[in-house]
Structure 1
Amino acid sequence: MKIEVAMLRTGLAQGGSSARRPQAATLPPNGPGLMGRALVVGGTGPTGPPIVAGLLARGHEVTMFHTGRHEVAELPDVPHVHGSPFEAGDIARAVGEGGWDVVVATYGRVRLIADEVANRCAHLVVVGGVPVYQGYVNPGSRFPYGVALPVREDSHPLVAPDEPRFAGYSTGPIRRTEDHVFSLGAKGSFGATYLRYPTVYGPRNPYAWEWNVVRRVLDGRPWLILADGGHGIHSRIAARNAAEAVLLAVDRPAIAAGKAYNVADDDLLTVRQWAQLVARAAGCDLEIRSLPRELPNPGLAVSAFGGQESPTCIVDTSRLREDLGYRDVVSVPDGIAETVEWMLANEPVLRASGTTDPFDYPAEDALVAAYEHALASLAPQAAPFGTGIERMDMVQTAKGRAL
């Protein structure tokens, strides 16, 4: 593949445009850091612009290495190296002959990147994900079912390096990549830091889960199906908050080296609460209809693994807070509003690209009608439990009549 180096200014996000204002870069607690050479692998996704802006604000000389297929208006003017972060030859040409103070790898074939920068980079910061935890993608693989709550970096088991493929997804390579990076770090090739992301939301996210809700608002659809009523809880991270975690790891290499960090927003939402916030940001409240997770339904399309993942996954971010001083830089409602604003500005592109949701409204109507009919038919069998389950007697401890 041809390698191109260019000084680029603006391009359109996924072919669209947005009126969003640029976000200010955050600075480390003690002000800008020392000048250093920083290579960002990726940089055009949801977290890229705030990472690049934050590195520049800290005094780093930044170069981006990505495919060049997407350029975004929010990016500052820095050199771009275009090539494939998945091919060894392109990676070698992008890294060049010199060294780097920090390399931030947000995508690509990380094992190849790590091999190329070994002994030529002081600090390698890699973005991974929570699927490395056993029981997240395949909850039935653990007892008790699913992940332990909250999920802690050192105490929760990771998937096996040869973990079988499940739900169309292979988690074994994620584990092997982490092991490889930390092995090189242990040999002194660089300081290695891994950031384990949960579901990310923000402008330009290629996995546009919020679009499943936003499109229904735009289509005038009055209700939304959620599996099990959307009562599961999953840690999420706003793009700007994820970038903040990356920048804090860059700021404190001596502390962060050799460690993995869970990354998540300070606040937690149920899937139902998330959908309600998204719908309101899009301009309309939607009624929530519930269908069981065991029944294939469009409510499963709001998750990465079609409802086959652990129903609840809450990651513990204590290490990130205590080691690196992490705090959200954008609240959950504001982060969702930014995401929805971008989607509204890029509606034609999102309608063309679609998501895992078929948006088959007649089929939804028929499914819900059949389900409600089936529930009504079960009323006689359910009747004994309507009166047979009584409240346990207990001593009244607040104001009121004591038993």
Structure 2
Amino acid sequence: MKTALVIGGTAASGVAIVAGLRARGYQVTIYHRGTHELAELDDLEHIHGDPHHPDTIDRDLGRRSWDVTIATYGRIRFLADALAGRTGHFVSISGTPVLGAVDGVPTTEDAPYERQGNEPSGMGRLLHRIAETEQAVLASGRGGAFAATVVRYPYVYGPYAVAPLEWHVIQRVLDRRRRWIVQGAGLVLNGRCASPNAAEFALRALDHREASAGQIYNAADTRQYALVEWIQAIAARMDWSFEFVDIPAAIAPLGNTAVPLAGEYSWMRRGDVEQGLLRHQLIDNRKARREIGYRDVVDPIEWLGHTVDHWLAHPPTIDGVDGRLSPAEFDYAAEDALLAFWDGVVRGRPAVGRQLVRAHPYAHPKPAA
């Protein structure tokens, strides 16, 4: 029987990855810390350990080998070194935040990496290390250690996500909040991917080893939605609607806790990029569609509804630990103070100019008499 090692596998896309491997006839082993266990994976072999350091990886995996490996978690460059010559295909899950701010959309695989910040640590340094890891995995593949493929996830939504951003909306609906502060009319575009669709990118790479070897693929749903559409879809699942109030970043800078989700991806924008400027990152999945036959396996809005139902039944932990949502992200007092201030600005705006009605610019001659 064919064998597969999944490293991590207990967050958003793990269940779908395992289901896809099983459907393809693989005997699956899960290697993770054991801090999150899912009933759907109970019947698999689990290796509990620490996939972050060479000594613990060597201890946990020994000299075992697997036909394919999908690494969704851990220190992937060390995992790739440990599995060199011991797996036929190594699929490394990376992330689209590693891509820098680019002019225009969509964002393709050849977009430049995010530049490293000047600080010795922090997000800029982390993104630089992720970029190095991508290149190290591909270099191992070129050296013959295994067939190597990198799949970059954007924000992945679905049950078991570590930081479910949908809860921003769900909690405010439950609390009967009616007004929602947006910036740029809520039209910013950021890549998202349903967890079964994210898994499909990795699985399709395995299906097409020759084509995918040495390649990077950006993962994203084929149909994307602006932030305001995303919020509306979640609220509609709960029979609710919001009044959207557009407050510019000059009043509330991106990332301000009083503006829910408006700074959702602003932490990616570093260096000389203006912090008050909303930038799109619309992830292009055409390379995967063209080369490895990727197609969405679930409809984004239908899966979003399923995701909402899951979180209503199993509310996430809100403690700000390990990247999870924080209580500071639900600062209603700050939201209300900002709304009250903005309402005052709007009431006090001067009456200037007049309504312009512009006719179309084309001639409309009359018939000759």
TM-score, with length taken from structure 2: 0.87
The amino acid of 1:267's aligned partner reads R
How many residue pairs align between the two structures? 349
Does the alignment pair 1:326 with 2:282?
Answer: no
Distance in 2, matches of 1:320 and 1:351, equals: 35
Distance in 1, matches of 2:8 and 2:318, equals: 25
Does the alignment pair 1:299 with 2:253?
Answer: no
Which residue number in structure 2 is paired with residue 169 of structure 1?
Answer: 123
Distance in 2, matches of 1:313 and 1:231, equals: 12
Distance 1:307 1:229, change over 3 A: farther
Distance in 1, matches of 2:63 and 2:267, equals: 46
Distance in 1, matches of 2:119 and 2:187, equals: 27
Q: Which moves more between the two structures, 279-288 or 48-57?
A: 279-288
Which residue number in structure 2 is paired with residue 271 of structure 1?
Answer: 227
The amino acid of 2:36's aligned partner reads H
The amino acid of 2:343's aligned partner reads E
Distance in 2, matches of 1:113 and 1:304, equals: 30
Does the alignment pair 1:83 with 2:49?
Answer: yes
- Of 164, 184, 187 in structure 2, the residue corresponding to residue 228 of structure 1 is 184
Q: Which moves more between the two structures, 333-342 or 303-312?
A: 303-312
Map 1:237-316; keep pairs closer than 5 Å: 237-294=193-250, 295-296=252-253, 297=256, 298-301=258-261, 303-306=263-266, 309=269, 311-316=279-284
Does the alignment pair 1:370 with 2:338?
Answer: no
Distance 1:216 1:326, change over 3 A: same
Does the alignment pair 1:350 with 2:305?
Answer: no
Q: Which moves more between the two structures, 168-177 or 285-294?
A: 285-294
Distance 1:396 1:43, change over 3 A: farther
Which residue number in structure 2 is paired with residue 157 of structure 1?
Answer: 112
Q: Secondary structure at the match of 1:358?
A: helix
- Of 167, 171, 187 in structure 1, the residue corresponding to residue 143 of structure 2 is 187
Distance in 2, matches of 1:76 and 1:241, equals: 23
Q: Secondary structure at the match of 2:123?
A: coil
Distance in 2, matches of 1:308 and 1:114, equals: 26
Q: CA deviation at 1:236?
A: 0.8
Distance in 2, matches of 1:226 and 1:187, equals: 49
Distance 1:233 1:84, change over 3 A: same
Distance in 1, matches of 2:95 and 2:318, equals: 27
Which residue number in structure 1 is paired with residue 156 of structure 2?
Answer: 200
- 1:83 and 1:90 in contact (8 A); partners too: yes
Distance in 2, matches of 1:323 and 1:229, equals: 36
Q: CA deviation at 1:282?
A: 2.9
The amino acid of 2:146's aligned partner reads F
Distance in 1, matches of 2:74 and 2:264, equals: 19
**5+ residue gaps in structure 2?**
270-277
Does the alignment pair 1:96 with 2:62?
Answer: yes
Does the alignment pair 1:128 with 2:94?
Answer: yes
Q: Secondary structure at the match of 2:317?
A: helix
What whole-Å deviation, never above 9, does each CA across 1:173-204 have from its counterpart, x for those lacking one?
Answer: 11111111111111111111011111111111
Q: CA deviation at 1:229?
A: 2.5
The amino acid of 1:183's aligned partner reads A
Which of structure 1's runs of 4+ aligned residues deviate more than 6 A? none
- 1:211 and 1:350 in contact (8 A); partners too: no
Distance in 2, matches of 1:256 and 1:237, equals: 20
The amino acid of 1:193's aligned partner reads T
Which residue number in structure 2 is paired with residue 341 of structure 1?
Answer: 309
What whole-Å deviation, never above 9, does each CA across 1:203-230 have from its counterpart, x for those lacking one?
Answer: 1111110000000111111222223221
Q: CA deviation at 1:98?
A: 2.8
- Identical aligned residues as a percent: 36
Name the Cα RMSD after superposition.
Answer: 2.5
**5+ residue gaps in structure 1?**
1-34, 136-145
Q: CA deviation at 1:379?
A: 2.4
TM-score, with length taken from structure 1: 0.80
The amino acid of 2:240's aligned partner reads C
The amino acid of 1:210's aligned partner reads E
Distance in 2, matches of 1:178 and 1:216, equals: 38
Q: Secondary structure at the match of 1:365?
A: helix
Distance 1:359 1:300, change over 3 A: closer
